[in-house]
Structure 1
Amino acid sequence: MDVVTGHDPRRFAERVRGFLAERPARHSVILTRLARALAGERAEPPQSELWWWVEQPDGEVVGALMQTPPHGAYLTADDDAVVRALARAAWVARPDLRSVGGPDPSGQVFADEWVRRGGPSAEVVMRQRLLQVDELVEPPAPPGRHRLAGPADVPLLRGWGEAFTDEATPGGARIDHVTARVAAGLLHVWEVDGRPVSMAAVTLPEAGVARVQLVYTPPQERGRGYAAACVAAVTREQLAEPGRTCMLYTDAANPTSNAVYERLGYRVIGTATDLAFAATIDA
């Protein structure tokens, strides 16, 4: 098998999109990041992005890996030998890699190969569950209503986005998750008496799958059903489109959020793990 590496997402898409679209929920992270890159949302400089894939002698694609700064690497492959081949290629091209993630067990297999080649040890940052819904179970309706977030909401929601990052990955890089999503009409809020109390974002659909993300309720507003109502509203809109389904990632160690999503009809379809390499965990 051959590992192909490049900086051009268009070439990656030509060769790999079909492979990713075979299981679009499992591959949602790569598909949505690829779509943004193709739309012009590139790292700076664009040459800092790397896109890898693995081909069998007959041309069949059997694995893929991307690394788009400031994010870590993300990969998918079913065969451990393919994962190790991707790790070896990444070791040559990006020896300062900070982190890796992917559907289980690919992230851990990659990290083990990284360490075997002389890299720093890896620490699990988060174990995740992949959940998908095909039919929404309506939650009890709390006070308030759902609406799209607008420009006037950005200062408040940007702070929420930073709080989301601090809770999900303490010490992680703070990235503006909000501004572009508001501009694209992808960030939703639940409001009570004109005051936002919860938010949830959604990706543009790829291969029929939209991913709910950036679900956050300030601590003082929790336990009132606002997040469930907001996620339900976003999910309802997506499922109303023919051939559309929704998925999301949850922290496997957070029973509260997992229970909320399962009550809405989301079901577990897989697991994933994010790992950071020891030399960069505290960076």
Structure 2
Amino acid sequence: MFTPFFKEEDLLNQKPFINYEVQFNLFHRIIEGEEVIALKTEDRNAIAIQNPGHPMWLWINETLEKSIIDDIIKSLCNQMKDNKLNSISGKPEFARYFAEQYSRMLGISYKVSLGMESYRCLKVIKPQNVQGKLIRADLKHLDIVSDFWAGFGFWCFGVTVTKESQIPSAEEMIKSGNLFLWEVNEKICSMVNIAHKSKRYVRINNVYTPPEERKKGYASAAVAELSSSLCNEGLIPMLYADIKNPYSNSVYKGIGFKESGRIDNIVFKY
């Protein structure tokens, strides 16, 4: 049922996929990988895509009948049974059904590791009375960005690393020109990054404010200012937020981001 496709087919900019483009925006980044696994059904109502070592993402047209959706998922399970997937990401009920079938087939277990809500912003609501301004990160900010990047890993993923170990990653982000900082009286207080641009959307990530600078509106102001700039370019800002972090979700909603569909990641235990 599934056959390979290639970036040149421009499948991700055609219907029916673009009706779900916010929720599955990461597809645009995955398809750019050098060794990407990209599969589609003949009628283009389902796409499975993966970069090696990362989760496989599964999109299925929700308007299909349940029996057809079930057949699509079972077909993909059969096709991927020898690939030893580490995880599956997708619409919660579809991802779970795939996990059930795949785990039964291979005699393994699974668990939901992450739930994310996708958001898009068509009209920015800038917070009022927040000090500071948005600036593009420069190599002179390498030390503070390295520190923020280490902090981001700890607060978002529980991973403890040294600031020094994050210097290469921080330098790469700065040189990309896509990292922005919120500056208050010459002090850097928050960061936000442009992760990827597609034809219609810009995905924002790595929003971080150190603990001592939180609750001052800096992250809201930084994301709002960047989003406003993107909207002026005719692009739509979007992002993913961990559903277990109600504060960050409320921040995004407060500046005009609207819920656009949940994604669950389910990991397999071999």
- Give how far 1:74 is off: 1.9
Matched residues, number: 257
Per the alignment, residue 266 of structure 1 pairs with 257
Residue segments in structure 1 that go unaligned for 5+ positions in a row: 43-48
Q: Aligned ranges for residues 93-242 of structure 1 at < 5 Å?
A: 94-95=83-84, 97-170=85-158, 178-242=170-234
Which residue is equivalent to 1:21? 18
- Asked if the contact 2:23–2:263 (Cα under 8 Å) also holds between the matched residues in 1, the reply is no
Q: Deviations over 1:185-223 (max 9, x none)?
A: 111110122222111112343131111111111112111
* Residue aligned with 1:61, SS: coil
Alignment partners' CA distance in 2, 1:87 and 1:165: 33
- Provide the residue aligned with 1:55 in structure 2: 41
| Bigger Cα displacement from structure 2, 176-185 vs 231-240 | 176-185
The one-letter code matched in structure 2 to 1:51 is I
- Residue matched to 1:251: 242
Residue 53 of structure 1: SS of its match in structure 2? strand
Change (3 A) 1:266 1:134: same
Structure 1 pair 180–70 and aligned structure 2 pair: CA distance change class (3 A): farther
The answer on whether the counterparts of 2:193 and 2:206 sit within 8 Å (CA) in structure 1 is yes
Deviation at 1:130, TM superposition (A): 1.2
**What is the one-letter code of the residue matched to 1:53?**
L
1:178/1:66 Cα in 2 relative to 1: closer, same or farther (>3 Å)? farther
Code of the residue aligned with 1:148 in structure 2: it is R
Contact 1:104 1:271 in 2 (8 A): yes
1:47-92 Cα shifts (integer Å, max 9, x gaps): xx34232323xxx212222221342222212334323322332222
Per the normalisation by structure 1, the TM-score is 0.81
1:178/1:123 CA distance change after superposition, 3 Å: farther
**How well do the aligned residues superpose, as a CA RMSD in angstroms?**
2.6
CA contact (8 A) 1:53 1:61 kept: no
Answering whether residue 54 of structure 2 is matched by residue 68 of structure 1, we say no
- Measured in 1, the distance between the counterparts of 2:98 and 2:146 equals 33
In 2, distance between residues paired with 1:155 and 1:53?
42
Alpha carbons of structure 1 residues 5 and 117: separation in structure 2 relative to 1, 3 Å:
farther
Alignment TM-score, normalising by the size of structure 2: 0.84
Give the distance between the partners of 1:13 and 1:110, measured in 2 at CA.
28
Aligned-pair CA distance for 1:5: 4.1
User: Which region of structure 1 is more displaced relative to structure 2, 166-175 or 258-267?
Assistant: 166-175
Q: Take 2:160 and 2:55, find their aligned partners in 1: how far apart are those partners?
A: 11
Contact 1:32 / 1:204 at 8 angstroms: preserved in 2? yes
Give the Å deviation of 1:107.
2.1
**Matching residue's letter, 1:108:** R
Higher mean C-alpha displacement, 110-119 vs 18-27: 18-27
Mapped to 2, the partners of 1:218 and 1:159 lie a distance apart of: 9
Q: Is the 8 A contact 1:127 1:253 kept in 2?
A: yes
Question: Which residue of structure 1 lines up, in the alignment, with residue 81 of structure 2?
Answer: 91
Decide whether aligned partners of structure 1 residues 162 and 23 sit closer, same or farther in structure 2, where only a CA change above 3 A counts.
same
Alpha-carbon separation, structure 2, partners of 1:164 and 1:83:
35
Amino acid at match of 1:21: I
Alignment-derived partner of residue 45 in structure 1: none
Amino acid at match of 1:54: K
